[in-house]
Amino acid sequence: MSRQNSTASQMDHQPLSREDLAKLVAADIAPGSYVNLGIGQPTKVSDHLTPEQRVTLHTENGMLGMGREAHGEDIDEELINAGKIPVTELPGASYFHHADSFAMMRGGHLDVCVLGAFQVSTGGDLANWSTGAPDAIPAVGGAMDLAIGAKEVFVMMSLFAKDGTPKIVADCSYPVTGLGCVSRVYTDHGVFLIEAQDGGPRLVLREAYGIAPEELVKRFDFPVVIAG
C-alpha cells in the first residue's frame, strides 16, 4: 500500500523494516537513559543500543541493569524479564521487589518507555491492552503502569491497520491504556511527535519513510504538521 502512494522522489526510500525501526528508536534514546522496553517489538530495540549509550534497562518484575536474552547454560529461571524470558544481569545491576519497581515507574524516574500499540490518539492516548472483544479473557499486566510510568513514552507500531486505516486516530476506538501519555510514535511510514502546546497537543510528522510527507499527511482526517 505504501509503495503505491510513494512519489517518484521517494522511490529510493522504502518503508522502515521492523529492524530499521528498532534501530531508529535505539538511536533516539539519549545517552545514560533508564529505559523500559515493552514486550514484543520494543524488545528488539535493545539489540541496537550501543555500549557508548550507557543505557540501563529496567524490567518491571524487579531489576535494573538487565542484559541480553539468556541462552543455553546462561538460562536461570529466577532471572527473567517482564515477558518471562530468561535474561542476563549486567555489572551495576540491582534487584528490588514489585512495589519498589512500580514505584520507580509511577514516580516518573524512567526516562523512556517503549511500547507497542493498537492505536494512539492525536492527544497521546494509548490503546494497547485490550481489543475490547466481548469474549476475550482480559489481561492487563503492567501495561497501564508503563503507559504513565516514564518521562517519555515512545510507541512502536505499523502505521496502518490491515484495512488500510491509520492507527493514529482522533479518538481511540479500542479500550484505552492511559490518557495523554504518548510523546512519540515510531512507525514503518513515519515518526510522529505529539507536542504539548497551548490549546492542546499537536501531531507533528518528523520524517516519512517510503512515502512523501505531503502524501502521508493526506492519509489522516485531522491535521498533521510536517516538521520543517
Residues annotated catalytic, as ranges: 60
Q: By the 8 A CB rule, do 10 and 211 touch?
A: yes
C-alpha cell of residue 186: 515510531
In the complex, minimum distance from the CB of residue 66 to other proteins, in angstroms, rounded to a whole number: 9
**Position 175 contacts other proteins (CB under 8 A):** yes
Q: By the 8 A CB rule, do 66 and 89 touch?
A: yes
In the complex, minimum distance from the CB of residue 209 to other proteins, in angstroms, rounded to a whole number: 31
Render the burial of 48-69: b for 16+ CB within 10 Å, e for the rest: bbeeebebbbbbbbbbbbbbeb
Determine the Cα–Cα distance for residues 72 and 62; give it in Å rounded to an integer. 23
**Position 176 contacts other proteins (CB under 8 A):** yes
Determine the Cα–Cα distance for residues 147 and 180; give it in Å rounded to an integer. 9
Say how far residue 144 (Cα) sits from the centre of its chain. 14
Q: Which residue from 92, 122, 101 is spatially nearest to 32, judged by alpha carbons? A: 92
Binding string, 74-93, against other proteins, x = CB under 8 A?
A: --xxxxxx--x----x-xxx
**Position 144 contacts other proteins (CB under 8 A):** yes
**Position 190 contacts other proteins (CB under 8 A):** no
Our CB check for other proteins shows the closer of 59 and 122 to be 59
In the complex, minimum distance from the CB of residue 109 to other proteins, in angstroms, rounded to a whole number: 5
Distances from the Cα of 52 to the Cα of 32, 38, 130, angstroms: 9, 22, 37
Options 51, 72, 138, 199; binder of other proteins; rule CB under 8 A: 138
Our CB check for other proteins shows the closer of 41 and 61 to be 61
Our CB check for other proteins shows the closer of 22 and 105 to be 105
Options 22, 37, 45, 63; binder of other proteins; rule CB under 8 A: 63
Determine the Cα–Cα distance for residues 168 and 225; give it in Å rounded to an integer. 14
Options 109, 193, 206, 226; binder of other proteins; rule CB under 8 A: 109
Residues that bind other proteins (CB under 8 A): 31-34, 54, 56, 58-65, 76-81, 84, 89, 91-99, 101-110, 125, 130, 135-145, 148-149, 175-179
